[in-house]
Every structure is written in C-alpha cells, then in structure tokens.
Structure 1
C-alpha cells in the first residue's frame, strides 16, 4: 500500500486515477508522495520515507529542488498539461491590448444609469478604439509547450510570428507551424515585433531578462505580454517605459504592487492555468508520474533527476538507487551485486547535473542485507526495492 498527501486541493479527476493500492493520509510523515500546487515547501522538513513530490503545474519555484535531490526525493512537474489554458489567455491578452476593451467596459458600467447611453456611446467609443492584430508581428520568446501553441494559434489569426528558442526540443519543432520564422538572435524580436510574449522558465539566467536594455531595443509602442513568471521582467523598468510611451501596454498574469493599477498595465489575477480542464490535466499527469515512479521506478518529467525508463518489471526484483553523479558508482554497485551472487538481468544508469539514477533488474529477490550494502556506498542517497 502506497500513501500520499495533497498539500493543496488537487482535482478529484486526477486523484481518481490512483488505484486501491493508494491511500490519502493527513500526516506528511506517513506519505510516500506529496502532491502540490502552490504550497511553499522550502522551510519544510521532509521525512525519510518520502520518495517523490509531484507539482500539478509547470513552475517549481515553491519546491527546494536541491534539498530534495540530496534526500533522494524525485520531484516531478507536469509540462504541457495546462498549455492550452494559458494559450487561450495569452490570445485574450493580445486582444485586450490591441483595443482598450477594459476601458470601454468600465465606461459602460459608469454610464449604466444614463438613459442616453446608446447615443453617448457613439461619441465616446473613439477613445477606446485600437488596432487589429491581423498582419502584426508577434515575437515569442520560448517555444516550449505553451509557446508553440501560442505561435500556431497566432498564425491562424493572421499574425506574422517570429519565434526564439535556442534550446527548442525536437517535439516542439515538429509541432511548430512552417509559417513561423525561427529567430536565432532575440534582439531581432525586440527590433521587429509589435507584440512580444515571453514563455521561458524562471532561472538565474532568465531573471529580469526583459530589462531596460532590452526595452530600449524594442519598437516604440510595443506591447509586452508576460504569462510565464513576473520576475522575468524588470517591472520597475517596464512601468517607466509605459510612462514614457516607449511601451504601449504591459499585460501580466501576476498581480503585485508595482504593476497593479499602473498606467498601461493590464494585470490579470493569475488565471493562466485556472481552468477546470487544466487543473484536471495537471492532476492526472501528476498522479501518473507518481504511480509510474512508485510502482515501476521509472522517471518522466523530473526536474531534479534524469528521465529513466525500464518498462514494467519482469524480473523477481528491481532495485532503484538515487545517488550523486560521481565516478565509479556503477562499478561499486555491480561489484556488490556480484559478490552477493546476484545476476543482473537488465540495468540502466542515467545522470543529470550533480545527481544520477541507477536501476537493476535482478534474477532473484533483493535481501535487506543487499539494500544495506548499497546504502553504505558513499554518495548513495536513497535505495528502493520496487519489487
């Protein structure tokens, strides 16, 4: 029996994909797995029994990835599960920025008691007029699951789309419309595009990448959209650019004191993935990742350990080892197995940065003594007997 705890409300649609072999618990100390959305885990002490954390969403800034890796806790996210929901809100942001729709709606509300509102609207509507997005240039920084969907949808809306991503995946490249210009220098997007939307993860290298220098390279009257992370944009610089008229609109899905109510800012209350479908997709994917790891030892979509897949176990035992990525680890494991008279039917070893993951299918059941020998190897962080 496996046990899990939800740190936030997780869609029942996803939790229903757990089998009878799983039980939800109240205490973290009892859990093999945590499912989380926005709960902050940085100050949390993780029990020794905890094996995995699954984030029902893409961002993992609320999870201490290094700390988890050091404790042999594999952390998953759910890339692409909420991509369509975010894509649709980005398109809404484009349209809201192209015309002053919000200003127009607010004006109607303010005049709702005026019996002459119909006639007055014909006089006032000019102040809310704008431009069509068809024929305009849209620059997309980051062609992951969301960026690709935005790019393809924008092409169908008649926009000329420029995409920048030096690390574009094979899957993303295959899914990208042929009409999209793949840009190799992000400065070309800054110089050419009427609209710029950013879809990259928040890393030290991307923090405040849209800064004063970047903004100065942009066209006058540009519209910038940020539905990824607020810290990707230097928002003090952005507000100043709005005041000067360099930037026409800044559309953000991240309310904060800097942008809320600032001139030219359209700030949405973090609704990107807040759709019933997105929450269900994220929950279902998170549960699938947890089950695959706990039941078979396989890893897919981890953010602190390498992906690794040996299929469904078909040997009497499968042993999985989380360890540091240092020399001679694999040889030490095989030596221990050989000296203990275990024959290896199948094996794999994958690494990612400072950490690695090894799995061994054995032709006889794994003893407690064997596990203790493997745990004693310097650099081993967690040993699990899957079956």
Structure 2
C-alpha cells in the first residue's frame, strides 16, 4: 500500500515510522493539508491519510477517485470534514474511533482546575516574584454539578474522574445508554436541564449538521450564571461570538477550549512570527478567564501510538478484504451516516 499522509507533523512521522514497515505500508509525508488545491499530490498513491482540518468535499473526492485512491484513512475520531455520503461507492473511509479517551478526559479536568483555582494566573505571578494571594480566590468542585453532552468513551473516562472528586453528573446523549448510567452513577436528562442545572458544561459529542453552534446566545441564556463551558470536541459546536459576549457580560465565568470553530488556518502551526488575522480569535485569547489550547488534548505518547497502530490495522484489513470495524459510511436504508462503534 502506497500512502500519502497529509498535514504531517514530526510526531506523526515518528510514530507511523515505528510501525509502517511491519505493515508493509510505504508512507510519504506531506505537510500541506488535503484540499482541492493540494489533492493532485495524491496522484500515484493507493490511499490518503488525513487529520481533523483536512477538507474532503465532493470536488476532492472526485479527484481522489479519478487518481485511483481506494481508501481515506482518518487518523482521528471525527469525520465531519469528509463528505461521507458522497464518498459511498467511490472511496472507502475508515477512522480511529478511540485512540486515548483518558488523555482527553485528563486534560479536560486539568483545564477546569486551571480556571477554578486560577492556576495559570498564580504561575505567572510567582514567576514574577509576586507571592501575594490577591486575585487568586477560587472555588471547590466538590458537590457541584457537571453537565456532559455526549456519553462516548471520552466522556465515560471523564465521569470517572469527576465522580472521584465528588461532583454530581448530569448527561445528555441522542442515544442514551441506561446500563452505563447505572454503572457510572450519572443521570440522563434533556438539554434544557443540562443548561439550567449545571455549574460546568462539557462537550464530548461529534459535530453534525444538527448540532453546529448548539452553544449559542439562546442556549447560554438558559444556563446558570457563572457557568464554565468546556469544549474538547469540535469548535463549531460553539458560537464563539456568543460565548465571548457571555464571558464579557459575566454570564459565563470562563471557558476551557481545546478547539475553535475557525481553527484550521492556525492550529497545529507556529504563528508567532506571522501573527493571525482572525479578530474573533484575538478577542477570545485576550479574555482572562479563557484557556485555549491548539487541539492538543489527545497529544500523549499513548494516543499517538494508538493512532498509528489503528490506522495501519485499518489499512491492513482493507488490503486483506476483511471486515472493517472502523469504517464510516452512508446507509441509505437508515438515511444516516453509520460508524461501527455504535
């Protein structure tokens, strides 16, 4: 299998190179993202490997199909960047459904603690030899309520940590798992209850056409005053302008974000020399009670190992005409996108 891996970073190359030889996969690394302008680079390959901000729309799919590309290998869980419905009967799509739920769950709680205990501010003060405690009063998480939207594997690991702290957990999911509810000790409720009763709201759901900007001016108005919003899922789940306004007004206490709705032009790149042109992103970064990472929640040794191994196993299964556990496709009978994790 000849594979071109788009949007390649040094850590991608390091971990894929560890295992590619034993899977008989010849990989060429390309630092550009896959778009219509760059898809010509895939000519002569059997498969493409892409990440969260690559764009695989109808035009790109047609070109890849024309070049003889047989397989799109998503080295991530989300597949909102690929037109899955249009790809059917043209190119097979596989993904990595769960590379390290723990890594994202752990960083989520770390971001929350940073906000509630003002850890970032405290570090900056002591580095400047300022050992005063003024402005560092935080609040306990014990006995407060967390509302979790989406109860997949990441959310489940997150809940275990929250339970250990002694927090009350509410959850919403389009496909409730009541056996899981009993096992982990949380309570399924509707979205309005999540908004009304939660001190912290954390997003752990995939991005779909139905839930884009689900956190918006209207939903924020239903939330408790001084709520904290956490997003380690997809940036488009939040209307950033509405979030900024709510933080500036004091309605929202703060936000812990690993994603941003217009991140693709900046995240994973060093913009310290060139700067950025996104005024909304600049305003978001200027807010004291905002922690914004550049989509790094997954970035651990364990996750990078799993991403490489699962991606290569997906390729192996495809080449051997085996059942593809991690295939994503459009099901005409159900009229929806299906992934075998469900």
- TM-score bracket relative to the smaller structure: 0.7 to 0.9
Name the structure 2 match of 1:28.
Answer: 42
Structure 2 counterpart SS, 1:284? helix
What are the superposed Cα offsets for residues 286-338 of structure 1, whole Å, 9 maximum, x if unpaired? 111121122124222222256xxxxxxxxxxxxxxxxxx5xxxxxxxxxxxxx
Residues 1-387 of structure 1 correspond to what in structure 2 (within 5 A)? 2-7=1-6, 8-9=8-9, 10-14=12-16, 16=19, 19=22, 21-24=24-27, 28-38=42-52, 40-42=54-56, 44=60, 45-46=63-64, 47-71=66-90, 73-109=91-127, 111-112=128-129, 117=130, 121=131, 124-168=132-176, 173-174=179-180, 177-183=183-189, 185-254=190-259, 256-305=281-330, 325=332, 353=335
The Cα RMSD (Å) is 2.6
Deviation at 1:134, TM superposition (A): 1.4
Deviation at 1:275, TM superposition (A): 1.7
Deviation at 1:14, TM superposition (A): 4.5
> CA–CA distance in 2 between the matches of 1:33 and 1:352?
28
- Using a 3 Å threshold, how does the CA distance of structure 1 residues 210 and 146 change in structure 2: closer, same or farther? same
Deviation at 1:18, TM superposition (A): 5.4
Deviation at 1:19, TM superposition (A): 3.6
Which structure has the highest strand share of the two? 1
Unaligned residue ranges in structure 1 (runs of 5+): 307-324, 326-350, 357-387
Larger CA deviation: 291-300 vs 21-30: 21-30
Name the structure 2 match of 1:369.
Answer: none
Name the structure 2 match of 1:317.
Answer: none
Greater C-alpha Rg: 1
> CA–CA distance in 1 between the matches of 2:181 and 2:217?
33
Structure 1 counterpart SS, 2:43? helix
Unaligned residue ranges in structure 2 (runs of 5+): 30-40, 261-280
TM-score (norm 1): 0.70
- Using a 3 Å threshold, how does the CA distance of structure 1 residues 355 and 201 change in structure 2: closer, same or farther? closer
What are the superposed Cα offsets for residues 155-185 of structure 1, whole Å, 9 maximum, x if unpaired? 1121111111121458xx54974321122x1
> CA–CA distance in 2 between the matches of 1:286 and 1:236?
36
| Larger relative contact order (CA 8 Å, sep ≥ 6) | 2
> CA–CA distance in 2 between the matches of 1:69 and 1:265?
40
TM-score (norm 2): 0.79
Given that 1:18 and 1:287 are in contact with CA atoms closer than 8 Å, whether structure 2 keeps it comes out as: no
Given that 2:149 and 2:203 are in contact with CA atoms closer than 8 Å, whether structure 1 keeps it comes out as: yes
What are the superposed Cα offsets for residues 124-158 of structure 1, whole Å, 9 maximum, x if unpaired? 31411201111111110100121111112111121
Aligned residues between the structures:
298
What are the superposed Cα offsets for residues 42-61 of structure 1, whole Å, 9 maximum, x if unpaired? 36420442111111111223
Given that 1:34 and 1:53 are in contact with CA atoms closer than 8 Å, whether structure 2 keeps it comes out as: yes
